[in-house]
Structure 1
Amino acid sequence: MSKNEKQKIINIAVIAHVDAGKSTLVDAFLAQSGVFRENEAMTDCVMDSNDLERERGITIYSKNCSVMHGEYKINIVDTPGHADFSSEVERIIKTVDTVILLVDSSEGPMPQTRFVLQKSLEQGLNPILLINKIDKKDARIKEVVDEVYELFMELDANDAQLDFPILYGIARQGIVVRDPSEVTDLEVGEGESKVKKSAAGQNGLNIMPLFDTIIQHVEAYPDRREEPLQFQISALGYDDYIGRLGIGRVDRGTIHTAEQVAVTKEDGSVVMRKINQAFVYRGLKRVAVDEADCGDIVVVSGISDITIGETICDAQHPDPLPMIHIEDPTLSMNFMVNKSPFAGQVGKFVTSRHIKERLEKELEVNVGLLVEPLDTTDGFKVSGRGELHLSILIENMRREGYELAVSKPEVIMHRDEKGHKVEPVEEVVIEVPDEYSGTVISELNLRKGMMKSMSGRDGRSRLEYIVPTRSLLGYRSQFINETRGEGTMVRRFAGYEEYKGEIPKRANGVIIAQEEGTTSGYALNNISERATMFVDPGVKVYEGMIVGMNSRSEDMVVNPCKAKKVSNMRAAGSDESIKLSPPRVFSLEEALEFIADDELVEVTPGDIRLRKKLLKELDRRRSGR
């Protein structure tokens, strides 16, 4: 390619519901485009580089990579599928030329699918549909395609958008075909597949039909290099060595290293800044370049106060693009200094200054977050898009050595134009075996949910509800128990509706430790007759720590450290070995769901404990708790 000839660039985003195979499809793109050397080991879901992403099997942070196909450079954005990270998805859509809509051949379109597709259609993009996992035993390919057509029509897609190409694939084996019958000769299937899982394709089949469809379906970005620079920031990054990074697509012009530019702010003001370095993506690597052309996804350093939605322009021609609106937080919780008797025993960062610095660092890249100081000097009110959004932050802090106490999540209320109180509601899609559907319907009705539709097939019921976000706090654990782990529940933010009134709270009281000490099997055996325990024998506890759940509605103070009195008399049958049921162990999300308004979750690098806000029983009585 001659120096004056512009490189052909196409930017694509892979959008889908959680666990539909986005990251696996990106693996296949990378494996079949020569990004990896022959002797280089390739891990599954290579784009999910964060430890939490690997453990949970979800994409949390959107990331970029690029592949070459012939003379085309294809920038690929792997987007989060979970609704709590919708602010990430929304902005990414603005930087791409088309989206690959990935839909599971059995599940069909899910709530998050609807959300990301809606954002794509609003941007005027013409999607490509890829029905994934066509080797599933319960695949219903034809019905799912019909459901996607219906979804496009519901979302007011125009004629060009409705005329979308349809492909079929098995992303984990690196296969995409134009007709499902092309894979009938493969010995594929769920479970013990006879074909080795590989992103590099099988039996002469690969993902080339998808590459070809992208190039036929999308025109390369037009050559606008002669126009003045216009480059909107759609994502932020942070590098310990070079500081804050701005990421986005260059809409027009060319960006250069060490260039003086104008940055247009949200309030309409214009400030002059200097770009330090510019980077583009080659494969998975971020590579420094002297200049980057329009159409490419570029990372710039050197502008310490750059933020989402601001436009970097030619110094002589400041011409901003419309600001990107980031959706408001729906949920808040208090992050406070850990003041329990066990504070500081494990964590390295325990003061309010440490917590403040860590939250400020998070704000550098996590624009869906809002941090405000509390009236007291030892905590902060942190607001985000949902439980998962906030719990991921807490989990990351815990792993980095922070200790903190966290309050129960609270929904953020608003007032409408008439001054009426409104609250966030969520669209919930539930699939359960038919025998549990009555229990779930009854519970959601109690929680002020409104059923939208109910259908069923193969012994399973599919329920669609609109439910207040408040009602769903603490429901997931109960849902898993009521459906014996066989139900699935997915949710997404749907908007604001009129305040629904009082909602039933946790029915059970808790068991509270009376004193500091080490739990004994003898004491726990006596207590467990009327409670579900959260601790094993030999665990250190303190006064005010929650050690179990009462079978009744009131709280109960007990001594879990009480030992059996020692005497030289033995009673037949009473000294047999004690058999205790395994304690209930909470994950961070389950702990946040479980606690009541007068309780806290104590988060340390080693433990997650539940406690009362007021540790002493006398203080709780005086306050009426």
Structure 2
Amino acid sequence: MDIRNIAIIAHVDHGKTTLVDNILKSTKVFRENQDAGELIMDSNDLEKERGITIFSKNAAVTYKDVKINVIDTPGHADFGGEVERVLKMADGVILLVDAFEGPMPQTRFVLQKALQLNLKPIVVINKVDKPNCRPDEVHDAVFELFFNLDATEAQLDFPTFYGSGKNGWFNDSLTPTENIDVLMDGILKFVPPPTVSEGALQMQITSLDYSSFLGRIAVGKVARGSIKEGQQIALMQADGSVKKQKVRELYVFEGMGKRKVTEVLAGDLCAVVGLEGFNIGDTISDAEILEALPVISVDEPTMNMTFSINNSPFFGRDGKFVTSRHLRDRLMKETEKNLALRVKDTDNGDTFLVYGRGILHLGVLIETMRREGYELTVGQPQVIVKTIDGKKMEPYENLVVDVPQEFASKVIDLVTRRKGEMHVMETKGEMQHLEFEIPSRGLIGLRTQMLTATTGEAVMAHRFNEYKPWKGVIPGRNNGVLLAKQTGTTTGYSIDKLQDRGTFFVDPGEEVYAGQIIAEHIKPGDLIVNAIEGKKLTNMRASGSDAATNIAPKTLLTLEECMEYIQQDECIEVTPNNIRMRKVILDEEERKRVSRSMKTEEA
């Protein structure tokens, strides 16, 4: 059977998953009367809520008797580890670019990976129905990007298609059509069939699937030979060990699901059931002829956080999994499929150091665990500092901000205060396009401040660039916090009296404990307040003093916003029903004692 393997890569929100929807609908994967909805491939609850792709997924469609394996990839730099490994399964890539925004930092990152693997690119300029779009300029910018990334002559000669995923058309010109057939024909014409070398079986595991019925399933592309049901194979691992195992069942992708088969030939993607103890990057080879494929290399993590058990006074109220053993087992299980994640034990048996690509990467892990019934405490995210040639080095990132012109000066001021340097400033229509180089530390907490300063108009994107010398101290949060003095239930009477002291994160009637952060102070420095005091009632009627209290609703912070908000002596308590910020040391006297001893040590 004729096969094409294609990955769809793009910056976040440029329309990858919508394009996959169009491919699935145009090839009649669904019945005429079946309502499949939108963003079909984003099946995970978190993906649906956030409107982003987190995990890469496969679908297979048949068009003009050719099987096309389509791989949808995430667009966020934090999930770059997903993109790096799934590109190994593709023979061509569709680079999707927004007709207004043009190539963005993540576009550059994933395109570079694809070109290094010598994949054939097809450029699709999406959203040409938007006002202010500039498809011709964007086409030139894409060509320039290819050139800067040292693309070969063949790669520079890329075909370009224009269209609107939302309106369901793509064409090789700007003239709207009825459907996406022109693009589908382009895939058949420009994407080469898989290159297959002669010889015994070779297949690299590039992805994992899990079924409660079948257990762990290995997914990858058969690079050479063929794999059969019941075949004896050798599992060759990264550490050089070889395990002899047997293939129990084989599946190929069909539509949104899988179909059981007895044999898969080289060039096709398949799922293998029955293997044990495998990891991503391992090679499945012939039992007799042992030849491993090169191990998949994934960029290093740039950030770490401490994960520990929940040790607050409200421990064990919400969660099912609360011990350090539960926490350790869950984190180790995550490292099997999440390649960019690392977990290290610390001197304290209840605490683990978790390394990831960024706040969103770690935030999605914490949110997933919380929904599974885990209780845990996480500390402030820290960037990973290295010593190279005796010098202290830290990670730097490229930051791109598109913002209306009247806010450009505020953005520049915010970034330069955090040790960022501006490299590019261009006008794109009514928007100002700014590019900076900034230490990764400076990005923590920047998004919230920037959205406040630009009334939510700024669009920012960033990706890791390289390690450079340490830039010195970056100012953190300016304001202190209000801490609860004792454990109890907050009252409207107390909060009303304290409203002029800060912005509250709790409503009246919520349970709080001593040392919990309940509000942001209007000044620097922390303040301990009593938020659980009720009104002293007498049997005398008071004239006019019982006017209704006007309490502003609490400020709701998402998990990622809490991670960016807290300082080094603070942490977040995460349970299935609550996210609370607190001091690491809850007792006030103990905090003072520790702070005094630290000052003495410094002196």
Do the structures match in fold with TM over 0.5?
A: yes
264, 282, 303: which is aligned to 2:275?
303
Distance, in Å, in 1 between the alignment partners of 2:158 and 2:2 is 22
CA apart distance, 1:102: 0.4
Does 1:601 find its partner at 2:553? Answer: no
Q: TM-score normalized by structure 2?
A: 0.96
In structure 2, the residue matched to 1:529 is: 500
Aligned Cα RMSD in Å?
1.4
Does 1:285 find its partner at 2:257? Answer: yes
Distance, in Å, in 2 between the alignment partners of 1:577 and 1:239 is 56
CA apart distance, 1:481: 0.7
Distance, in Å, in 2 between the alignment partners of 1:206 and 1:481 is 41
Distance, in Å, in 2 between the alignment partners of 1:415 and 1:272 is 42
Distance, in Å, in 1 between the alignment partners of 2:258 and 2:451 is 42
In structure 2, the residue matched to 1:463 is: 434
SS of 2:472's partner is: coil
Distance, in Å, in 1 between the alignment partners of 2:196 and 2:343 is 42
**Residues 85-113 of structure 1, C-alpha deviations (whole Å, 9 max, x = no match):** 11111111121111000001111111111
Q: Which moved more, 1:110-119 or 1:371-380?
A: 371-380
**Residues 505-529 of structure 1, C-alpha deviations (whole Å, 9 max, x = no match):** 1111100000111111121122111
Relative distance call for 1:222 and 1:122 in structure 2 (3 A) is: closer
Contact 1:244 1:364 in 2 (8 A): no
SS of 1:620's partner is: helix
SS of 2:416's partner is: helix
**Residues 46-89 of structure 1, C-alpha deviations (whole Å, 9 max, x = no match):** 11010000111110000001000112110000001100111111
Q: Which moved more, 1:377-386 or 1:100-109?
A: 377-386
SS of 2:259's partner is: strand
Counterpart amino acid of 1:267? Answer: D
In structure 1, the residue matched to 2:183 is: 210
In structure 2, the residue matched to 1:450 is: 421
CA apart distance, 1:243: 2.1
Distance, in Å, in 1 between the alignment partners of 2:565 and 2:195 is 54
Does 1:557 find its partner at 2:528? Answer: yes
Counterpart amino acid of 2:530? Answer: N
Relative distance call for 1:457 and 1:211 in structure 2 (3 A) is: closer
In structure 2, the residue matched to 1:135 is: 129
Distance, in Å, in 1 between the alignment partners of 2:83 and 2:560 is 23
Distance, in Å, in 1 between the alignment partners of 2:196 and 2:309 is 54
Contact 1:237 1:364 in 2 (8 A): no
61, 67, 70: which is aligned to 1:67?
61
In structure 2, the residue matched to 1:273 is: 245
In structure 2, the residue matched to 1:513 is: 484
Counterpart amino acid of 1:396? Answer: T
Contact 1:10 1:220 in 2 (8 A): yes
SS of 1:529's partner is: helix
Aligned residues: 596
Does 1:369 find its partner at 2:368? Answer: no
Relative distance call for 1:215 and 1:481 in structure 2 (3 A) is: same
Counterpart amino acid of 1:511? Answer: L
In structure 1, the residue matched to 2:194 is: 221
CA apart distance, 1:303: 2.1
Contact 2:218 2:272 in 1 (8 A): yes
SS of 1:313's partner is: strand
Does 1:404 find its partner at 2:376? Answer: yes
104, 112, 136: which is aligned to 2:106?
112
Q: TM-score normalized by structure 1?
A: 0.93
SS of 2:53's partner is: coil
Matches within 5 A, 1:250-261: 250-261=222-233
**Residues 217-237 of structure 1, C-alpha deviations (whole Å, 9 max, x = no match):** 12222455x521111111222
Distance, in Å, in 1 between the alignment partners of 2:352 and 2:239 is 27
41, 50, 54: which is aligned to 1:56?
50
Distance, in Å, in 2 between the alignment partners of 1:447 and 1:338 is 32
In structure 2, the residue matched to 1:149 is: 143
Distance, in Å, in 1 between the alignment partners of 2:50 and 2:551 is 31
Distance, in Å, in 2 between the alignment partners of 1:489 and 1:260 is 51
SS of 2:74's partner is: coil
Relative distance call for 1:544 and 1:222 in structure 2 (3 A) is: closer
Does 1:124 find its partner at 2:118? Answer: yes
Query: Where do 5+ consecutive residues of structure 1 fail to align?
Result: 1-6, 184-203
Does 1:162 find its partner at 2:165? Answer: no
Distance, in Å, in 1 between the alignment partners of 2:157 and 2:96 is 16
Matches within 5 A, 1:225-240: 227-240=199-212
Contact 2:92 2:192 in 1 (8 A): no
Query: Where do 5+ consecutive residues of structure 2 fail to align?
Result: 597-603
Distance, in Å, in 1 between the alignment partners of 2:474 and 2:251 is 51
Q: Which moved more, 1:389-398 or 1:496-505?
A: 496-505
Distance, in Å, in 1 between the alignment partners of 2:216 and 2:235 is 15
In structure 1, the residue matched to 2:600 is: none
CA apart distance, 1:37: 1.4
Contact 2:93 2:120 in 1 (8 A): yes
Contact 1:263 1:318 in 2 (8 A): no
